[in-house]
Amino acid sequence: RTIEELVNEFGINVLRVAVYTDEAGYAYGTDATREMMENVVRKAAEITYRLGIYLIVDWHMVGAEHEEDKNPLTHLKLAQSFFSKMSKEFADYDHILYEIMNEPNGPTTWNDCKTYANLVIPEIRKNTDAIILVGSTQWSSNLNAVMQSPLEGYDNIMYTYHFYAATHYSTSVLANAYDKGLPVFVSEHGGMDSS
C-alpha cells in the first residue's frame, strides 16, 4: 500500500530495493536472512510490475561494519550466485534493473570494480538483457575513472553516480560524462552532505 501511495501521490516511477551485504545482511546473515531478502525482492518485483514502475535490485555494499565490504570482490561468489538466481527468476520482467555494486570505497580501485563487473555481468546476461547499473569508486562518485577506462563489450550498461549537493557542489563530471556519451544513472541524491 505504501508503494502504491508513493506512485499515486508523489509520482515515483522507480523503487530501489537495497540488499545489504553488511550489517548482518546477505553476506553475514543466516540462510533465513538471505531467503527473507530474496522474498522482499520478489514481492517488490510483483508490486512494481503491477504498478508499472521500475525496480532496481541493489547489491548494497558500503563497508559500514566490515572494512573488507568496501571492495566488491570481497563477496564476488555470493554476488554471482545472487544475481544469477534473481535474473533467472525475473528473466521475463522488463522493468527490473540490476545495480551490481553500491558505493565501492576506501582503497578499492576502478580496476577492482571492472574485474568484479566483468565476472558478475555475464551471470545476469545468461538470463536477461536488462539494464545493469555499475558503481564506481569513492562511493559511486568517481566517473572520471570510468571515463578513462569504461567497460567494454556490453550493451545496456549504465554507470551510477551518487550526488549530494553539500558534498559534490558541481555537476561538471556529469556534463563531461554526457559529452563523452557515457550513460549515467543517478541512483542516490540529496540536498544535504553525503554523510
pLDDT tens digits along 71-123: 999 999 999 999 999 999 999 999 999 999 999 999 999 999 999 999 999 99
User: Each residue of 115-153: pLDDT tens digit?
Assistant: 999 999 999 999 999 999 999 999 999 999 999 999 999
Residue 103 annotated as catalytic: yes
Which residue in 5, 99, 103, 123 is the catalytic one? 103
Which residue in 23, 38, 89, 188 is the catalytic one? 188
Strand order across the 96-99 sheet: 14-20, 54-60, 96-99, 132-134, 157-164, 184-190
Residue 188 annotated as catalytic: yes
The answer to whether 180 touches 147, Cβ cutoff 8 Å, is yes
Measured distance CA(16)–CA(195) in Å, rounded: 19
Confidence class for position 168, pLDDT limits 50, 70, 90: low
Of the chain, the percentage scoring pLDDT greater than 70 comes to: 98
